[in-house]
Amino acid sequence: MSLGVVLLCALLYVGILFATAWRVDALAKQGKSRLMRNPYVYSLSLAVYCTAWTYYGSVGRASASGLSFLAIYLGPAIIAPLWYFLLRKMIVISKNQRINSIADFISARYGKSGHLATLVTIIALFGVIPYISIQLKAVSFSIDVLTEHQYPYFKPDAPLLADATFWVMLAMAVFTMLFGARKLDPNERHEGLIAAVAFESLVKLIAFWVVGLFVIYGLYNGLGDLFTQAAANPETARLFSLSGAGVSPTSWTMYMLLSALAIMLLPRQFHVAVVENTHPRQVNTAMWLFPLYLLLINFLVLPIALAGKMILGSSAPSDTYVLTLPIHEHLHILSLIVFIGGFSAATSMVIVSSTAISIMVSNHLVLPMLIRLKLIGQETTPRGASTLLDVRRVSILGVLMLALLFLKSIGGSYDLVSVGLISFTAVAQFAPSALFGMYWRRGTRKGAIAGLWIGFLIWAYCLPAAAIAEAGFLSQSFITDGPWGISSLRPYHLFGMEGMDNISHAAFWSLLLNTGAFLIVSLYTQPSALELTQANIFVNIHRYVAGEEYDVVKRAAKISDLHRVMGRFLDPSHVSAIFSNFEKENKIKLDQQKNAEPELINYAETQLAGIIGASSARLAIGSVAKEENITLEEVMQVLEQTREVLRYSKALEQKSSELETTTRQLIAANEQLKALDRLKADFITTVTHELRTPVTSIKALSKILLDYRAELPEEKLQSYLNILVSESERISRLINQVLDIEKIESGTDEYLPTEPFSLDEIVRTTAGGMAQLFRERSIEFTSNIPEETLEVAGNRDRIVQVVVNLLSNALKFCDAREGRVSLSLQKAGSEAVLRVADNGKGIPPEQHVHIFDKFTQLNSKTEGKPQGTGLGLYITRKIVEHHGGSIKVMSAVGAGATFEVRLPIYPSNT
């Protein structure tokens, strides 16, 4: 077959793709295309997962190690049921945050970090460029096989322009630039492109089944016949089982893990599954339809591989069996169909990958640089929209050129599956930060950066660096002995690990240390306020989807500035549409305001992020929006939001401590009440007891008088009557005192400072009145009262009572034989000090406080009960206190007692 025919077919096919994409884009522009909402189209577009690696490489791998290729498809199949919450959550987050690439996703999760976005983009570039290059290689060798029928097919030395691969690559680049970077859309939807990809998925599946059915029914009599013949030959029979084919369980497990992660994290998979998704509901269909697609495309791989091995053996490379079997039978039309199938598998991957990568490269590598260097987004620079598209287009071409260069330099020496798996291992490094980030709020930016760097470096060391050495660019001893002869650093046996294939080995170490670093660094670092907000949105996205996002980092900007910045990246009509949309959503009028609310700034940033990525948008908006310092209150709000558990436990703690305090107070109150109750009971007991004693004697004496009145001598009668009188007086005194206490305690007594009166006069009069009593008991009484007038205000009679109480107290308690009582009144500053001293037996210091309480009498066994009611001093203290004064006693046992009363002098002008 001539090269012309093959290229014509390829061009025709690309023409069909162009037509499809064009038509769908045109329909979409008119809003007529419902294709994107179709879940079957969505599921088919996911099948971009099946590349030339699947189409040609699986057969190659199956002819060497049986069903081991299945691990790459079982991984996605096993994880597909989990998409119901995993992928759907990813989609909801991405739509809410206008995320348009995996780099954006990870960067947005960790506080819109530019560092992370760049790092993820670089890892993706390293992983994806070789991957694209093997697609080009597959196309290149299929053309060579078709045109020359000879091997080896690969000619790295051919000049660029004479190489068909270059022209094929250029055609793909043109297609991608046209449909992958046609317009700037904040939703980053490419209807035409997706339609073409879905179409290609059908083409490759049908082509593969055509060749499969031809092999089974054209070359054999059905599947049974094929397997029976294969079973007869030990060389092919050993491929029936994994153990027979020499596949280790570790590799099987590792490949399943890698593919399960890659199905969501590969840039092109993220693009079709998340970015191009129009509704999370589409995932429901994809959950079973996509695994079904994988099952169908893999079902005939083993039969084809066995047939190729039996018919062609080693006369053709096993990677080309799909194509060489029809050629061997001289079926040109069939071989062309196979070629188109493989071509479609390769082109769909290249188109979507380069679109996805170009978004990342332009948004996370080129744009931040241009913004920082002030080459874009300034007054003097041309408007951003066209520049942005140019950057995209150049990125697409650049990525494809790099892939071709890679192929020309070292890629040729590798088989399809190995390079694909190296890519898988690279993108699997995104797993800890991306997946943990959706469910674990504690993950921090520093943790993500540490994990990604460590994983990336180990990957680079164990796989590409070793591959470079194998390709002859480094000494072979780097692989066999390790660098500088350190055997524990051998790239295929890191730390002396044996018994794993190269990919599993690299995947194991890089993922283990990546995850470990991510977790440990996250636990030991503190997230910033913005990180906390973003983490909260990612983890609790379902709380935010309906409601509005709350802003933590408060920003302020003029609306006109916001307009200006957005205008540098977007069409003016687009900008006005965004602002009017915001007005409609929030029901406000922006032209009445001058300064933009934080909500508007956020809205603008999110909209801009849809086009230039989260970190670039933050940079651009940051040029006009000033960040206000977060208030303590707001920080508290964040803390509350993010640490509800802590709050709840704190609240609980507070409640319990409040409860404890209340309990303590209640216990104290209860004690007080009990003491009061006891006191009251004591009071009543004492009062009744005090009353009963005189009543008893009055009763007895009255009875005597009644019965023996006539027989009693006159003096006896007299004394009895005297006793009766004094006992009655005692009762009335007691009652008066109780009433006094009642009055004083209930506060009904009048103590308002009425007319001032002279204290010295009262004291002099009272002392004079009492002097007779002292003389009667032959007690020496001295008084020292100054001439000057000391005026106090209050209740005159109560003050008299105080003086009487103190003097009669001294009278009672002074020494029985040589009693001495002295009274003194003097002025001390603004107070009048009254002292009454006796020479009695004194009061022990521990009683100095108690004697002023109710019914406190100093009882002592030897001296019996003293006279009095025990209420006098209590009443005295109360009266003094009500007059704003104080009373105290100075005494020692055996040295008498001195009572001191201090009363405030009535303010006078003199």
292 is a site residue for other proteins (CB under 8 A): yes
Rounded CA gap, 14 and 12, in Å?
A: 5
Instruction: Give me the amino acid identity at 537.
Output: I
Q: Which one of residues 7, 16, 210, 237 is an interface residue with other proteins (CB under 8 A)?
A: 237
Q: Considering only residues 510 through 549, tell me which ones interact with other proteins, judged by CB under 8 A.
A: 542
Rounded CA gap, 709 and 129, in Å?
138
DSSP one-letter code for 817? S
Applying CB under 8 A, does 158 fall inside the site for other proteins? Answer: no
Q: Residue 226 and residue 231: Cα distance in Å, rounded?
A: 9
Nearer to other proteins among residue 227 and residue 544 (C-beta): 227
Most distant CA pair in the chain: distance in Å?
169
Stretch that binds other proteins, among 29-37, 247-255, 493-501, 557-565 (CB under 8 A): 247-255
Query: Distance (Å, rounded) from C-alpha 103 to C-alpha 364?
Result: 8
**What are the residues whose beta carbons fall under 8 Å from the beta carbon of 516, sequence distance 6 or more?**
451
Closer Cβ to other proteins, 80 or 553, answer by number:
80
Minimum CB distance to other proteins, residue 542 (Å): 7
Residue showing tokens 């119901």: 84
Q: Residue 227 Cβ, how far from other proteins at the closest point, in Å?
A: 5
In the bound state with other proteins, the residue whose beta carbon lies nearer, of 546 and 710, is: 546
Q: Please measure the distance between the N-terminal and C-terminal CA atoms of the chain and give it in whole angstroms.
A: 136
How far is CA 433 from its chain centroid? 15
**In the complex with other proteins, which residue's Cβ is closer, 43 or 839?**
43
Within residues 733-792, the interface with other proteins by CB under 8 A covers none
Does 241 sit near other proteins (CB under 8 A)? yes
Give the residue among 588, 589, 559 at the shortest CA–CA distance from 575: 559
Yes or no: say if 164 and 3 are a contact pair by the CB < 8 Å rule: yes
Minimal distance, residue 570 CB to other proteins, in Å: 33
Closest contact distance (angstroms) between CB of 467 and other proteins is 29
* Closest distance to other proteins from the beta carbon of 213 (Å): 17
Q: Is there binding between residue 646 and other proteins (CB under 8 A)?
A: no
Q: Is the peptide bond before 152 cis (omega within 30 degrees of 0)?
A: yes
- Other beta carbons less than 10 A from residue 294's beta carbon: 24
DSSP class per residue in 226-278: HHHHHHHSHHHHGGGSTTTTT--HHHHHHHHHHHHHHHHHSHHHHIIIIIS-S
Tell me if 500 contacts other proteins by CB under 8 A: no
Angstrom distance (rounded) from CA 6 to CA 339: 9
HEC per residue, 840-863: CCCCCHHHCCHHHCCCCCCCECCC
Q: Which of residues 190-219 bind other proteins (CB under 8 A)?
A: none
Distance in angstroms (rounded) separating the CA atoms of residues 878 and 801: 12
Is position 382 an interface residue for other proteins (rule: CB under 8 A)?
no
Residue with tokens 């070789």: 130
Q: How far is the CB of 46 from other proteins (least distance, A)?
A: 14
Q: Which is nearer to other proteins, 88 or 137 (CB)?
A: 88
**233 part of the interface to other proteins, by CB under 8 A:** no
Say if CB 877 and CB 858 are below 8 A apart.
no
Contact residue for other proteins among 242, 273, 322, 793 (CB under 8 A) = 242
Choices 282-290, 383-391, 629-637, 643-651 (CB under 8 A): range interacting with other proteins: 282-290
- What is the spatial distance between Cα 183 and Cα 180, in angstroms, rounded to a whole number? 8
Angle at 679 between CA 678 and CA 685, to 5 degrees: 90
Asked if residue 238 binds other proteins (CB under 8 A), the reply is yes
Shortest distance (Å) from residue 437 CB to other proteins: 18
Under the binding rule (CB under 8 A), the answer on residue 6 touching other proteins is no
Q: How far apart are CA 823 and CA 803, in angstroms?
A: 10
Contact predicate 117/103, CB 8 Å: yes
Q: In Å, how far are 65, 234, 343, 376 from 245, measured between CA atoms?
A: 5, 11, 30, 57
Taking CB under 8 A as the criterion, the residue among 21, 24, 52, 256 binding other proteins is: 256
CB nearer to other proteins: give 288 or 648: 288
What is the smallest separation between the CB atom of 646 and other proteins, expressed in angstroms? 24
State which residue, 223 or 556, has the beta carbon closest to other proteins. Answer: 223
Interaction with other proteins in 295-324: which residues (CB under 8 A)?
295, 299, 302
Nearer to other proteins, 284 or 637 (CB): 284
Instruction: Please tell me whether residue 243 binds other proteins under the rule CB under 8 A.
Output: yes
Q: How far is the CB of 258 from other proteins (least distance, A)?
A: 14
In this complex, which beta carbon is closest to other proteins, that of residue 78 or of residue 497? 78
Residue 67 or 351 with smaller CB distance to other proteins: 67
User: What 3-state DSSP class applies to 690?
Assistant: helix
Q: Which is nearer to other proteins, 463 or 539 (CB)?
A: 539
User: Interacting stretch for other proteins, rule CB under 8 A, among 20-28, 44-52, 189-197, 221-229?
Assistant: 221-229
DSSP class per residue in 565-585 = HHHTTS-HHHHHHHHHHHHHH
Amino acid at 314: S
Tell me if 44 contacts other proteins by CB under 8 A: no
Phi-psi label, residue 815: left if phi above 0, alpha if psi -120 to 50, beta otherwise: beta
Minimal distance, residue 71 CB to other proteins, in Å: 8
Q: In angstroms, what is the minimal distance from the CB of 93 to other proteins?
A: 12
Q: Which stretch binds other proteins (CB under 8 A): 285-293, 324-332, 803-811, 892-900?
A: 285-293
Closest by alpha carbon to 550, among 626, 633, 637?
637
810: tokens are 């001294």
Sequence-distant (6+) residues with CB within 8 A of 684 are: none
Q: How far is the CB of 440 from other proteins (least distance, A)?
A: 18
Nearest alpha carbon to residue 569 among 623, 601, 611: 611
Q: Between residues 80 and 138, which has the closer beta carbon with respect to other proteins?
A: 80
* Cβ nearer to other proteins, comparing 243 with 581: 243
Please count the residues of this chain forming the interface with other proteins, following the rule CB under 8 A: 41
Q: Work out how close the CB of 245 gets to other proteins at its nearest, in angstroms, rounded to a whole number.
A: 10
Quick one: which segment of 2-10, 252-260, 632-640, 688-696 binds other proteins (CB under 8 A)? 252-260
Where do runs of H (alpha helix) occur along 440-556? 445-462, 464-470, 477-480, 502-524, 529-539, 541-546
Residue 284 found at the interface with other proteins (CB under 8 A): yes
x/- letters, 63..102, toward other proteins (CB under 8 A)? ---xx--x---x--xxxxxx-xx--xx-------------
Q: In the bound complex, what is the minimum distance in angstroms from residue 223's beta carbon to other proteins?
A: 7
Q: Which residues contact 687 (CB under 8 A, 6 or more apart)?
A: 734, 738
Count of CA atoms in the C-beta half-sphere (13 A) of 446: 9
What sign does the CA torsion over 164, 165, 166, 167 have? positive
Specify the stretch interacting with other proteins by CB under 8 A; choose among 185-193, 249-257, 472-480, 880-888.
249-257
Query: Is 156 near other proteins (CB under 8 A)?
Result: no
- Is 40 a binding residue for other proteins by CB under 8 A? The answer is no
Residue for token digits 């520093």?
A: 446
Which one of the spans 232-240, 349-357, 418-426, 509-517 is the region binding other proteins (CB under 8 A)?
A: 232-240
Residue 640 CB, shortest distance to other proteins, in Å, is 23
Strand order in the sheet with 820-828: 780-784, 820-828, 831-838, 897-904, 886-891
Q: Would you count residue 249 as binding other proteins (CB under 8 A)?
A: yes
Residue whose CB is less far from other proteins, 80 or 419: 80
Report how far residue 636's alpha carbon sits from residue 650's, in angstroms, rounded to the nearest whole number. 14
Site residues, other proteins (CB under 8 A): 66-67, 70, 74, 77-82, 84-85, 88-89, 223-225, 227-228, 231, 237-238, 240-244, 249, 252-253, 256, 284-285, 287-288, 291-292, 295, 299, 302, 542
